[in-house]
Structure 1
Amino acid sequence: MIELRPYDRLGGANHGWLDTRHHFSFADYHDPRRMHWGTLHVWNDDEIAPRSGFPPHPHANMEIITYVRQGAITHQDSLGNQGRTEAGDVQVMSAGTGIQHAEYNLEPDVTRIFQIWIMPRERGGTPSWGTRPFPKTDRAGCFVTLVSGIASDDDALPIGADARVVGATLTAGQTAEYRLGAARKAYLVPAAGVVEVNGVRVAARDGAAVQEEDVLRITAVEDAEILLVDTV
């Protein structure tokens, strides 16, 4: 089963410096039908104005993944971590027992990100942060694991959750398969382009909530950049 969630029907708000859309209930947007998808609790589509961002604020007991679609995000936190993550790359913060962080767009142009929150296996872990590049050329025509809490996924940013985040870039007409397993769930969003997922058309920034599908066959209708969360 695949449920299409069109971008223009998502909740959200425009705060001037931040134009945000929420795939799940978040902040002032509440929809009892869209509280989470398995352990995936947040997927926000954020556009952050130049020279602005999120001032220091706390988190706990959440795995927070930021996928940069355009521009760059600059991170700093109460553990002393600092870093800049550019378009196509990923940062992960395990909030654990508690951490304060700030995320700024220090660039001259708009930064666009997906921010994804996944519930950890256990509460109270040790907070941590990390970032790394994931060249789009390495994802050409196939899915690459970017973030994972599954033991067999060695070459990925680690999280403390039974979930993985994968990405792919496809040229028009190209097809990639992802073996999900009928007992698991997935949430797929094209960062750019239009795809068909097991015959369901999904446009850029639409969401596709997937369950009871053993294999996902994704075909690009036009050149596309895809992000998918595989969870329980």
Structure 2
Amino acid sequence: MKRKDYEKELRKLQVQLCHLQEWVKAKGLRVIILFEGRDAAGKGGTIKAMTEKVSPRVFRVVALPAPSDREKGQMFMQRYMAHFPAGGEIVIFDRSWYNRAGVEYVMGFCRAEEHERFLSLCPQIEKYIVDGGIILIKLWLEVGMEEQERRFKARIDDPLRQWKLSPMDTESYRRWYDYSRARDLMFKATNSNHAPWHIIRSDDKRRARLNCIAHLLEVIPFKRLSHDQVRLPKRSSKGRYDDQAPLRGMTFVPERY
């Protein structure tokens, strides 16, 4: 997809996201959007496109690091629930509790019985979340094997993106089919009527971002709210003084550009 066409469509969708934001605030809605997918599937770029024009006080992104020793001793879902939305918030999980069904399971960071228990209990927990009034949207970005390889190689050669590659990423690249089997087990166990999975093909990053945002605008019901037009008031000249004078002699950053 050409950049010019992409940016034109993205702007239209971002305007609608701003309207959605006002609706969520006005109605006190609570929304969770979780993004899952293989490494280099495009989660970060999609989340950035979704959130770059809206308020971080409404669209709050949560990307948790590996659990601490204390968190490992808690109930598994506990550290995620601490970030659940209050009224008027949309929380976006950049990876979520489904780590247990993916990286933790494939890499052996959890026991087989812990993985089975998670898959068994997850639909029940999500039913509790939905019944509590939270809108829960689960998104899986599906990238193909060849496209993932192309993106990994591009990261290796780009100093601005090398930080995205870790030993865990390269190991996940090696274990493609292990992740495929883990994905399918996860879908089979957790694709419920109350919290279904929505799959987005992401080999074309631009189309994936547009399709994702358009889908979210469909599944979260909202209406455009009317507002009085904002007008800037006339500045008061009362108490006028030279507000630049106190800055003389202060240290300014050199104007290199």
Structure-2-length-normalised TM-score: 0.27
Structure-1-length-normalised TM-score: 0.29
Q: Which has the higher contact order (CA 8 A, sep 6+)?
A: 2
**As a proportion of its length, which structure holds more strand?**
1
